[in-house]
Amino acid sequence: MAYQLLDGRAVAAQMNAEMADQVARLCAQGKRPPHLAAILVGHNAPSEAYVDAKVRACEKIGFLSTLIRYEDDVPQRQLLDKINELNHDSTIDGFIVQLPLPPHFSTDKVIEAIDYRKDVDGFHPVNVGRLALGLPCFRSATPAGILELLRRYRIPTQGKHCVVLGRSNIVGKPIANLMLQKDYPGDCSVTVCHSRSQNLHEICLSADILIVSLGVPNFVRHDMVKQGAVVIDVGITRLPNPDRPNGFQLTGDVLFDDVATHCSFITPVPGGVGPMTIASLMNNTLLARTKAVYP
Ligand code: GUN
């Protein structure tokens, strides 16, 4: 069956161009461009790459960015003090603390210390709660990116069965909530599965829309996918590959070549959900600058 690629790179480029236009308009009115700050603790290689991509995206769109780095052994108190400082800094519209944090941190405490009005990651309990209630909020960037991809490809969602594999706070839980809401994209019947789920193959086979966020490379194969399904692959694991210049290759949770011919639409890895996540973070930062979510 012929499938269509959900080209996250192309859609993100389109979003970035639209945001760059909005920044130009702000600046023409004599206003300051949006300003995103990112806190990075330690030297986790994927985290370094993500933060670097976020800073580069800011530069491309015309946002200001500030990167704040700490070594692995920075005391939690010092990080909380910096968060408090950023909360009160009127020149910063939004900021993120890149996760995961080293084990001596309480991630919950760190996230709760962020002013929810500057929480452009949408991780603070106020934003998570408002998302669950369908109220205006900062939406976690990966789920927001998935919705935007479905919207821009005009994929029908109303009444469909959406199966989400994975129950993380960052992706699984919020995307399940959003796909459930009476909205477009959304209005689905939603099933959330995880590592303990029974009858996983059977449930996946009944999915019209399958969103996979397990972090298990090549987990989904053709025998789990209904003919004509829409498959969204959130996985991005670095698998060693000595033939690549950087020594690794990004691998999704879906075995693409095996699954694609069963699909109507499918995201590639890389170039699917990843660029959409970054574009959505930028969009949240623009919303923070224009006070469009919390006036
Ligand atoms: N780690 C993995 N994804 C994310 C994200 O979207 N935001 C932050 N802050 N950390 C992450």
14's enclosing H/E stretch is helix 8-28
How far is C-alpha 236 from the geometric centre of its chain's CA atoms?
A: 12
Quick check: is 131 in a domain? no
Same domain, 87 and 211: no
DSSP state of 41: E
| Calpha distance 143→90 (Å, rounded) | 28
Domain that includes residue 238, residue range: 141-275
Same domain, 170 and 257: yes
Quick check: is 245 in a domain? yes
Same domain, 270 and 150: yes
Same domain, 148 and 229: yes
120 within ligand 1 shell (Cβ under 6 A): no
DSSP bridge pairs for 97: 39
- Look up residue 80 and give its amino acid: L
Same domain, 161 and 252: yes
Strand bridging mode 237-240 / 248-251: antiparallel
DSSP bridge pairs for 66: 37
> What number of helices (H) and strands (E) belong to the chain?
10, 11
Residue nearest atom 7 of ligand 1, based on CA coordinates: 98
Mean pLDDT value across residues 179-199: 97
Handedness of CA 170, 171, 175, 177 (dihedral sign): negative
Residue-wise pLDDT for 129-157, tens only, equals: 999 999 999 999 999 999 999 999 999 99
Same domain, 148 and 111: no
The pLDDT-based confidence of 118 (bands split at 50, 70, 90) is very high
In the predicted model, what is the mean pLDDT of the chain?
A: 98
Mean pLDDT value across residues 43-63: 97
pTM, two decimals, is 0.97
Mean pLDDT value across residues 29-33: 98
96 within ligand 1 shell (Cβ under 6 A): yes
Same domain, 85 and 183: no
Note the pLDDT of residue 274: 98
DSSP bridge pairs for 220: 254
| Calpha distance 124→116 (Å, rounded) | 6
The rounded percent of the chain whose pLDDT value lies above 90 is 100
Quick check: is 295 in a domain? no
Quick check: is 1 in a domain? no
Which of the listed residues 47, 79, 96 should we mutate to test ligand 1's pocket, taking the one with most ligand atoms within 8 A of CB?
A: 96
Q: Which of 81, 98, 115 is the last residue of a domain?
A: 115
CA distances from 185 to 75, 101, 146, 157, 294 (A): 42, 32, 9, 6, 23
Q: How far is the CA of 261 from the centre of ligand 1 (A)?
A: 31
Q: Which of 258, 216, 259, 219 is nearest to 236 (CA)?
A: 216
41 within ligand 1 shell (Cβ under 6 A): no
DSSP state of 91: T
Same domain, 162 and 256: yes
Mean pLDDT value across residues 26-32: 98
Q: Does residue 1 surpass a pLDDT of 80? A: no
Residue-wise pLDDT for 236-283, tens only, equals: 999 999 999 999 999 999 999 999 999 999 999 999 999 999 999 999
Mean pLDDT value across residues 117-127: 98
| Calpha distance 229→263 (Å, rounded) | 5
Total of domains in the chain: 2
CATH value at residue 236:
3.40.50.720
Q: How far is the CA of 15 from the centre of ligand 1 (A)?
A: 20
Number of residues that make up the chain: 295
Quick check: is 182 in a domain? yes
Which of the listed residues 51, 95, 121 should we mutate to test ligand 1's pocket, taking the one with most ligand atoms within 8 A of CB?
A: 121
Token readout for 208 is: 């019209």
Quick check: is 99 in a domain? yes
Quick check: is 136 in a domain? no
